[in-house]
């Protein structure tokens, strides 16, 4: 039995929520290991839609332990609001099924305020963040100013942490001509919420070690996508954390051996939210058609996603960086009815053909995709549950993607419903 990490191989929004939910039935523990509540997952279970952003997808499945690891930055108010929403939908959420790492850094109102202020000040040069404080919270973490979940149990420590944090933040706010934050107000807010958060706080590295020793299956759930990784993504138009598979161990307090199978979630076309390069982006009716048919709107922000053809160069690159063993190909049905499809197979950079996306942002902006045209299909793939249900040209499209990205398809999703899935290789079976 393997422990599995699920990561996005594009810019996020690949359909990880459904796949993680599908896999969580086979798992005992589901772990979030990076990111914040800027990354949303939508689950559709028995006709009920659940929208998650802070909590692991396993929380909607009874009998599973959900863990928010130390690599996550957590907005405690957002978490409590999400818990109440789930409870209203009939989901049980308590410390028996949810644990928060005591060393997870918290997102505070001062982070949200700074995030929004900087994006506004940047104007046309904005990064395109969700404005939820994730970046500033990670900055405080690496700057050794953060308030961590376990600190909520120590009011005296909170005072010291907040004072040190505000020396930094209030200087920035003054520089932007904005009102400074009052430390006493922030401390009061934290002391008020502490009794509601602390029951969930635990040494999750120890919990996970015991789970592994007991032979329990662990599913590590990534947020966003590899192209938003702070090191390996389209920098600076990235998130503030490592979104690749290697972070699963670091962000949960486990050794590298804890990750045994890497499943890359891959959309059958390409989308991105926010600013930054997007070589295969479409600005025509085809792009609009894909967006409308695929309901491409952000779970958290509601923003329309930019849409384009499948970019095999990018996915091959992210599969390599993640050490991906297999991909879960999603939203194939969105391409139903299209006469022809294009796939990016290489780039042209100033007249030179290259097989990867350069790290330099200037070069990223100049690359032009080189396409291969494939035949489309008129039949529906929606709801298919076996290869026999798929049109021959759809299978050819899948096989060509496998060749180009040099990674096999382990799972194929054909609708938002969890059972509309074709299993090629069970990641937990190794």
Which helix H or strand E contains 423, and what residues bound it?
A: strand 421-423
Contact between 269 and 280 under an 8 Å Cβ cutoff? The reply is: no
| Structure-token pair, residue 201 | 């706080």
Pairing mode, if any, of strands 105-106 and 73-74?
parallel
Angle (deg, nearest 10), helices 155-175 and 109-122 = 10
| Structure-token pair, residue 207 | 């919990």
Sign of torsion, CA 55 57 61 64?
negative
- At residue 82's C-alpha, the angle toward residues 78 and 85, to 5°, is 140
**Residue 114 burial (CB count, 10 A):** 24
The pair phi, psi for residue 327, each rounded to 5°, is -115, 155
How far apart are the C-alpha atoms of 14 and 222, rounded to whole Å? 11
DSSP secondary structure letters along 170-198: HHHHHHTT-PPPPHHHHHHHHHHHHHHHG
Q: Which of 21, 37, 41, 140 is catalytic?
A: 41
Is 41 assigned a catalytic role?
yes
**Residue 358 burial (CB count, 10 A):** 13
How far apart are the C-alpha atoms of 139 and 252, rounded to whole Å? 19
Place of tokens 């090191």: 231
Query: What CA dihedral angle connects 355, 356, 358 and 364, to 10 degrees?
Result: 90
DSSP secondary structure letters along 4-49: EEEEESSSS-SSHHHHHHHHHTT-SEEEE-SB-TTS-EEEEETTEE
Query: What CA dihedral angle connects 149, 152, 157 and 163, to 10 degrees?
Result: 80
Contact between 119 and 131 under an 8 Å Cβ cutoff? The reply is: yes
**Residue 375 burial (CB count, 10 A):** 14
Is 140 assigned a catalytic role?
no
State the catalytic residues: 13, 41
């Amino acid at each position: 039995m393997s422990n599995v990490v699920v990561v996005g191989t594009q810019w996020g929004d690949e359909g990880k929520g459904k796949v993680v939910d599908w896999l969580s039935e086979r798992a005992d523990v589901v772990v979030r290991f990076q990111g914040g509540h800027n990354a949303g997952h939508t689950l559709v279970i028995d006709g009920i839609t659940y929208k998650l952003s802070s909590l692991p997808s396993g929380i909607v499945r009874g009998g599973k332990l959900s863990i928010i690891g130390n690599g996550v930055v957590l907005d405690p108010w957002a978490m409590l609001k999400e818990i109440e929403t789930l409870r209203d939908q009939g989901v049980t959420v308590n410390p028996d099924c949810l644990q928060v790492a005591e060393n997870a850094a918290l997102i505070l109102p001062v982070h949200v305020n700074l995030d929004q202020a900087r994006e506004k000040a940047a104007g046309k040069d904005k990064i395109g963040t969700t404005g939820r404080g994730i970046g500033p919270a990670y900055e405080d973490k690496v700057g050794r100013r953060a308030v961590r979940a376990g600190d909520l149990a120590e009011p005296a420590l909170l005072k010291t942490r907040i004072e040190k944090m505000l020396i930094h933040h209030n200087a920035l706010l003054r520089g932007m001509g904005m009102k400074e934050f009052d430390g006493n107000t922030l401390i009061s807010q934290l002391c008020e919420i502490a009794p509601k958060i602390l029951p969930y706080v635990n040494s999750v590295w120890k919990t996970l070690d015991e789970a592994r020793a007991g032979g329990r299956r662990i599913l590590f759930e990534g947020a966003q996508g590899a192209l938003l990784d702070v090191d390996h993504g389209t920098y600076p138009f990235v998130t503030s954390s490592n979104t690749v598979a290697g972070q699963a161990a670091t962000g949960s307090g486990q050794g590298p051996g804890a990750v045994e199978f890497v499943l890359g979630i891959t959309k059958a076309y390409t989308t991105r939210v926010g600013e930054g390069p997007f070589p295969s982006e479409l600005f025509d009716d085809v792009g609009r058609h894909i967006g409308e048919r695929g309901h491409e709107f952000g779970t958290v922000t509601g923003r329309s996603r930019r849409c384009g053809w499948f970019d095999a160069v990018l996915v091959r690159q992210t599969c390599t960086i993640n050490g991906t063993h297999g991909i879960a190909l999603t939203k194939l049905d969105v391409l139903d009815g299209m006469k022809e499809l294009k796939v990016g197979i290489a780039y042209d950079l100033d007249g030179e053909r290259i097989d990867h996306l350069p790290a330099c942002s200037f070069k990223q902006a100049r690359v032009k995709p080189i396409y291969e045209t494939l035949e489309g299909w008129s039949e529906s793939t929606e709801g298919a549950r076996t290869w026999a249900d798929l049109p021959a040209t759809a299978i050819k499209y899948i096989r060509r993607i496998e060749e180009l990205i040099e990674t096999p398809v382990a799972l194929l999703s054909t609708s938002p419903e969890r059972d509309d899935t074709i299993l090629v290789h069970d990641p937990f079976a190794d």
